[in-house]
Amino acid sequence: MKIFDVQIHELARWDAHAWLSKPQVIFTPNPEILLEARKNKAFRKALKEGTLMLPDGHGLLLVSTLLQVRNKFLRALLYFPALLLFLFWKAPFLKVFPEVVHGCDFMAGLIKWSADHGKSVFFLGGRGQVAAETAQWFKITFTRLKIAGFSNLDPSEKAFELVKASKADVVLVAYGAPKQELWIAKYHKKLPHLMHIMGVGGSFDFWNGTVKRAPLFLQRRGLEWLWRFYMEPMKRTKRIWNATVKFPLISLFFSD
């Protein structure tokens, strides 16, 4: 399915893992990313480099289901009842995307796949020692994992040269959107040993313990955003507004 001219694959998490048998550029479009791509042509072009586009965000379930209603007037009538239903029951909204594929979960699966297949992984980005700590955590978790390297270098030619010299098979890029997608689009074809590359946003922070993830029962109910708001209200207010209000309204009623 396309939203704002960005392709998003209609895949469950385990179906997406099957795609790892072939080289992939992996992005995780969520409501915030799609809103930015709508107004940022360079970012939208970078996203087109993605070969595996994972639906990361519960707002995509609501919007993709309502977009099946072609008449905008009828869509408007259904919007608020659908929104109320969506808050408590997600099953009716799995028409297009069978589930939300969170980037941090898929990243962990990609690392396990790398360990199982003897592929080396480079951890790039994050602040301070986050990349190094995340690499160490996964090395302890998957003892067969080959660490090609780690670095907190900013997106640059220097970062590219470091990754290239490492001969990594898999590269995880944690610059956040749109920096990571722009960097990946610019450099991924210049990495001769590369099999998979993924933009992982703030996922390093979850796995090294810097940021505590929501309890599982909230994750399963699609309420992880509420937990993040509770943990970081000042930082999350605008992001939650964009994901829960601005994105549905623009995509349902004001996009072509």
Q: How confident is the model at residue 87 (pLDDT cuts 50, 70, 90)?
A: confident
Pick the range with the lowest mean pLDDT from 121-125, 151-155, 204-208, 216-220. Answer: 216-220
Neighbours of 208 (CB within 10 A): 20
Do 114 and 169 meet the contact criterion of CB atoms below 8 Å apart? yes
Cα distances (Å, whole numbers) of residue 114 to 62, 77, 92: 33, 47, 35
pLDDT at 230: 60
Whether residue 66 is predicted with pLDDT greater than 80 in this model: the reply is yes
pLDDT digits (tens, 9 = 90+) for 15-42: 999 999 999 999 999 999 999 999 999 9
Q: What is the sign, positive or negative, of the torsion defined by CA atoms of 237, 243, 248, 249?
A: positive
Mean pLDDT of all residues in 199-207: 93
**Sequence-distant (≥ 6) Cβ neighbours of residue 249 within 8 angstroms:** none
Q: How far apart are CA 61 and CA 58, in angstroms?
A: 5
pLDDT digits (tens, 9 = 90+) for 215-225: 776 666 666 66
pLDDT at 175: 98
Most confident of 165-179, 204-218, 237-251: 165-179
pTM of the model: 0.92
Residue 32: what residue type? E
